[in-house]
Every structure is written in C-alpha cells, then in structure tokens.
Amino acid sequence: MSILDVTEDQIFQTLGKGKDPNFKQIEKVRSPPVIPPIKKTYTPAQPVKVKEISESVKFVPSPEVEESIKKLTNELSYLNKSVGGIQTMIKLYIFLFALTLMIFVGLLGLYIKYYRP
C-alpha cells in the first residue's frame, strides 16, 4: 500500500484504535491565585502645623547690586543687537547665494536648450 493511497478516514480510524472507550477528559478548574493579606508596617505621619507669616518680606538690593544689574542689562542688550546684525547678514548672504544659483541654473538651461549643437 502506497502512502498516496491512504485516505483521511483510514488515518482517523488508525488514530482512534489506541483510544480507551472509557476515557474521560479531566476538567481543569482554575482557582484564583492566593494573595497574602498586606500587613501595614508603617504608622501614619502626624499632620504638620504651618505657621502663617503675617508680614510680607520684600528684598531691597544694595546700590552696588543695582549698579551691576544695570551694567549687565546694558551689555546684554548690546550683545542682542550684535547677534541680530550677524543674523541679518547671514540671511542676506543666503538669499543672494540662492538668487545667484537660480540665475545660473536658468542660464544653463537656456544654453542647453538653444545653443547646444
């Protein structure tokens, strides 16, 4: 008998021969996992009493500190103007480079279209 001659019915009959007719499948019952109770190992903290400050505290800087703050503010504004000028120059150079590149590509296209042999 060739393996190609075997039908599905023959396979199932052969597999069923070794089975016990009195066999019953055991039903598995899942029990919920046992979780041990949580024990408290801490004591609650006592509430903290907050004292209210009736007077508002105002910081008054000394004249030396005010002078240095003004000096730093002036230097910072000068730096901001310098950086702004540098950024404007860079934007101008990038714009001029892009414009030159577009003109060059346009002229190259015209050259290829009309003057190329």
Give the integer Cα–Cα distance in Å for 57 and 51. Answer: 15
The pLDDT tens digits of the residues spanning 28-84 come to 677 777 787 877 776 766 776 767 766 666 777 788 888 999 999 999 999 998 999
* Residue 87, token pair as written in the block: 């950024």
Tell me what pLDDT residue 75 has: 93
